[in-house]
């Protein structure tokens, strides 16, 4: 059966998925970085996982690489993404492809949070290598 996780507005004008359990984003991410699994095994997805990440103003994701690819859509704020050793500006609506084993990191600007949807393959265990 289908599942709907609805966005909920926050007082600062941003939004989140308040009904989905948050997980602290570990592995060297900035304090306050949150990961939510929107669609995964609990919802019946067998081949992929859709996650929503929130990076607080001035914060960053982990500096890492994985054996799996990522498809990312920026949905709130802006910032930068690191591919290898080069930083690139990103903003709402941008689609980002991260190849398997590519070193990457996301960074929010000092004045706003960064929110993005991330789609990855569904595996029993996905291992990250934090750099």
Specify the DSSP class assigned to residue 43.
G
Residue 130, pLDDT above cutoff 80: no
Domain spans, the chain? 34-53+69-131
Residue 112 annotated to the active site: no
The pTM of this model reads 0.88
The closest of 32, 23, 27, 15 to 105, measured between CA atoms, is 27
Tell me yes or no: is domain 34-53+69-131 CATH 3.40.50.1260: no
Annotated catalytic residue within 118, 124, 126, 128: 118
pLDDT digits (tens, 9 = 90+) for 26-63: 778 898 899 999 999 888 888 899 999 999 999 999 99
d(CA 102, CA 67): 8
d(CA 55, CA 30): 8
Lowest mean pLDDT among 26-40, 93-107, 116-130: 116-130
Residue 96, pLDDT above cutoff 90: yes
């Amino acid at each position: 059966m289908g599942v709907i996780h609805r966005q909920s507005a926050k007082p600062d004008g941003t939004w989140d998925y308040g009904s989905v359990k948050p997980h602290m984003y570990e592995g060297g991410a900035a304090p306050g970085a949150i990961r939510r699994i929107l669609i995964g095994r609990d919802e019946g997805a067998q081949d992929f996982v859709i996650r929503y990440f929130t990076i607080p103003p001035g914060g960053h994701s982990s500096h890492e690489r994985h054996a799996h690819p990522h498809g990312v859509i920026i949905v709130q704020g802006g910032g930068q993404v690191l591919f290898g050793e080069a930083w690139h500006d990103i903003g709402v609506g941008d689609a980002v492809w991260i190849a398997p084993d590519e070193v990457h990191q996301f960074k929010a600007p000092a004045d706003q949070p960064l929110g993005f949807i991330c789609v990855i393959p569904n595996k029993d265990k996905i291992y990250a290598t934090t750099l």
